[in-house]
Each structure stands twice: as structure tokens, then as C-alpha cells.
Amino acid sequence: MKRPALLTLLLAASMLSACGPRSRTPAPLVVTVYGAGTSAPTVGVNVSTNTPAPAPNIPTATPAPGATAIPVYGPDSFPENVNPLTGEIVDPAKINRIPIAVKVSNFPYAVRPQFSLSLADVVFEHPAEAGLTRFTAVYLQNDAAKIGSIRSARFIDAEIAPMFGAALVTSGSSLGTMEHLRFNPWFVGANVWRLVSEESSYVCPPLCRETPDDANTLFASTEAVRAAVAAKGGGSGQRANLGGWAFTTQTPPGGLPVSDVLIDFSSAAHVAWRYNAGRYTRWQEKDSTGELAAHIDAVTNAPITAANVVLLQVNQVNNFVPEDFRDGGNCGLEIQLWTIGPAKIFRDGIMIEGRWHRDETTNWQLRLEDPNTGQVIPLHPGNTWFGIVGLNAITVLNTATYSATHKVVDTKFECPIPPTETPTVTPEGYVAPTETPTP
């Protein structure tokens, strides 16, 4: 069991100083986080069978006489033809199937451009060790013929995959991360089919490596993944019990005009989202100089865009699990995506200050709420990208530009040396014989 530790002062300071004088200041929040090296209590509930806890719905806007009401979908129920992850009207067959969460690499630079990130309903970008980032992309309504390159899982995937009722697609994991995943009821026993990995006896298809011995050439398709899990008795076709988000095309009141969102994950990882004509275009550093360039999808050969960008501030600690063996080695991170924390929702060229909420009362689904009323803040219909930074990230609102600077957790401190043979040097760095090389 966990030993809770209150971080009230840290979160309150973060919320109060986040955006400068133009920001609306929400009431301080009481936040409970848990000790390093652990996962949230009872995480891994089967969201395909549990009923979400009641939460306040957002009422449909009241139209003027003779006008047509603007629909609001969610957060607790959706029409059978509305995707709970995007709020878009689609063929019910597209959403009456298992979501697929794929671990996609962002470093080294050679893995770019990635394939099919633009086709995901939802993408989480999170810090990995050494200040680099990695993606977990969730696919439901769109099919993707090639996704990747696919790399190894991290602790946070034991939170993300169960949250969406998803199968997790990964090249493998370090020994510590694999143990963490297998500790979660979502992936153990009769549910082992949900971990689609070379380490869990999946082969090609669905996991196909284009170049032998090259860690960055593993790819999969949504069709092949669903076929493979079905062959193992999973993915029955029953619609996952998704919920927690709301969607409307009507812009919520009270937001501040923000056209540029800058996220510095580290001195090596920089992201900019630039709003234009209803969409946010993603930019990131193109090489070690830090110069930004539009992030291109290799499938469409076009810049990646999003209808919504959401910044989550989440407590992060060294998990003491060896992940990277370059430069003396680095441990991984435990990103504690449970209880509550600050959130910024960017849609329609505005920023809405809110909080994220995920615990037993939300059935471990992630909600975006007004911190004063608890009402769910609606997203614009379409895809959403989440950026995760620390609770102590430095955030500034300067006219129409919002910036967040993540403070990188020291993952070298007391990182244990893995009990393996001396790693060998390759172009990708040091490779330990019994570990999955990362990043």
C-alpha cells in the first residue's frame, strides 16, 4: 500500500504563479501523491466493465428563440455514433472495438518523421529519462497502416493503457518497467494479451522490424494488432466503457486569448504549438541546435495538427529503474498521473485554466475540470495532444504566448547499476545484454 504525502503548498504555488497578472487564480487544491517506485492504489481497473462514477454533466447551451442548440457530448454518456475520445460523429463500428495505445519514439532525431501520429485520437507526450520525450498514441476511430517507430514502455503506460481500455503496443521494456506492468491487473493472468510486445510472445505480424538489430525500425498497423490480440482471445469487439471528457464546438466563456504554446521539456526537447484557423500546428527542435521546424507525419507528409492541446502538471520522481545506459546510466520516471493537478486547456485560440482529476471517483478516467465548480471543461471535437510537465514547471503567460519550462528530474542520483554483463557500445549507445536499450 502507498504512503500518501500531501503536496498542497507545491501545487498551490504552482497554480498561483502559473500565468502572471492576466490569469484567473483558481482556489488552492489539496493534492495527495504517493511515494517513489509505486503505482496508484487499485490502478488497472477494467474500464470496459466498471461503471463510471457520477459526475456533473455540462448542459447543452440554451438557444435563442428560433435557434438550434449546439450539442454537447459527454462526459458520462455518448450517442453510439460519437467517439468519446474525439467527440466526432463516426461509424459506430469504428468505435465498438478495442483502442490501441502505441509507444512511439521521439529520440534520436533519426526516428523522425514518425508514422501515423496524426491519425491518433489522443497523444500523450511525456518526459523519459535524461530530459528526452516519448509518445503514447491512442488509436480508435482511425486505422493506420504503419505506426512507429515503436519503442519500449515506461511506467506511465500502466496508467494510460487501462485508462482507455487499450491494448499496449511496445517493443519491450526494461526489467523494472516490465515488472511494473505485470503488477497491474490490466496486463496479468487472462489479460496478458493486452501487452503486445516482443517480450510477451508477439511476433511479425503485428510487430515487424524492417532492419534486423536496429532498435528504431519496429512498426505495426492497427489492423494487425487487433487481429493478433483477437487470436489470443482478446478484443472481443465490445465497446470500451470510455468517458470523462466532453466536447462542443461552442467556445467556453472566460478563456484568455493564447495563440502560441511553448513547452520546454529540457535543454534538448522543445515544442511549440501555433494556432491558426481552428487548428494547432506542432513544431519541435529539428536537431541539437534547438531550431524549431514543423513536425511532419511521414504518412501524410504534412505538419501534425491538433484540435486541442492540453498541458498537465504532474508530480514526477525517480523510479530507480535503470532505463538508459549512456553517460553512466539513467533511471526512469514515475509520472504520478493520479489524484489532481493543474491543467491548461488550449482550444479555439484561447487558454482555459483548469485541473486534471483522476482517482476512484472518476473510475480512473482522466477528467478536465473547472477547479472551482468541478464542472468538466469541454474540448473542441477532434484530436487532442497532451503535454506532461512537472508540478514545479515554470509557467509564464506573456500576451498571447504561454510557456512552460519543465524541471528535469535527476534520474542519475542513486540509479542502481543493472546486474548484467558490461554493456557494449553501438551507434545507438550502450546496450545491456538482458535489457531493452533506450531511448
What is the band of 109 on the pLDDT scale with cuts at 50, 70, 90?
Answer: very high
Q: Do 261 and 346 meet the contact criterion of CB atoms below 8 Å apart?
A: yes
Range with the poorest average pLDDT among 1-15, 269-283, 319-333: 1-15
User: Which residues is 369 bridged to in the sheet?
Assistant: 355, 376
The model's pLDDT over 344-364, given as tens digits with 9 standing for 90+, comes to 999 999 999 999 999 999 999
What is the band of 322 on the pLDDT scale with cuts at 50, 70, 90?
Answer: confident
Q: What are the boundaries of each domain within the chain? A: 5-54+72-405
DSSP string, 8-56: HHHHHHHHHHSSGGGS--PPP---EE--TT---TTTT--TTTSPPPP-P
User: Mean of the pLDDT values across residues 285-294?
Assistant: 93
Strand ranges, E, within 167-278: 167-170, 195-197, 208-209, 218-219, 256-257, 260-264, 270-276
What pLDDT score does 213 carry? 82
The model's pLDDT over 390-414, given as tens digits with 9 standing for 90+, comes to 999 999 999 999 999 999 988 876 6
The model's pLDDT over 204-243, given as tens digits with 9 standing for 90+, comes to 999 999 998 888 999 999 999 999 999 998 876 668 889 9
Looking at the predicted structure, is the pLDDT value of residue 424 above 80? no
Contacts of 333 (CB under 8 A, 6+ apart): 126, 127, 128, 129, 154, 155, 156, 316, 317, 318, 319, 409, 411
Cell (9 digits) for 124: 500523450
ω before 439 within 30° of 0 (cis)? yes
Indicate yes or no: pTM above 0.85: no
Cell (9 digits) for 433: 545484454
Query: How many percent of the chain have pLDDT more than 70?
Result: 77
DSSP string, 263-322: EE-SSS-EEEEEEETTEEEEEEE-STT--EEE-EETTTTEE-EESEEEEEE--EEEEEEE
* Angstrom distance (rounded) from CA 115 to CA 135: 12
The percent of the chain in helix, strand and coil, each rounded to the nearest 5, is 15, 30, 55
What pLDDT score does 357 carry? 95
Looking at the predicted structure, is the pLDDT value of residue 27 above 50? no
- CATH architecture entry for 5-54+72-405: 3-Layer(bba) Sandwich (3.50)
The model's pLDDT over 46-75, given as tens digits with 9 standing for 90+, comes to 333 333 333 334 444 444 555 667 889 999
First to last CA, the chain: 31
User: Mean of the pLDDT values across residues 316-341?
Assistant: 85
**Sign of the dihedral defined by the CA atoms of residues 221, 227, 233, 239, in that order:** positive
Q: Do 73 and 58 meet the contact criterion of CB atoms below 8 Å apart?
A: no
Looking at the predicted structure, is the pLDDT value of residue 165 above 90? yes
User: Mean of the pLDDT values across residues 266-281?
Assistant: 96
> Cα–Cα–Cα angle for 91, 55, 351, nearest 5°?
75
What pLDDT score does 412 carry? 79
Higher per-residue pLDDT: 422 or 177: 177
> Locate cell 497578472: which residue?
21
- With b for 16 or more beta-carbon neighbours within 10 A and e for fewer, the 50-64 pattern comes to eebeebeebeeeeee
User: Mean of the pLDDT values across residues 332-339?
Assistant: 93
What pLDDT score does 413 carry? 65
User: Mean of the pLDDT values across residues 15-36?
Assistant: 34
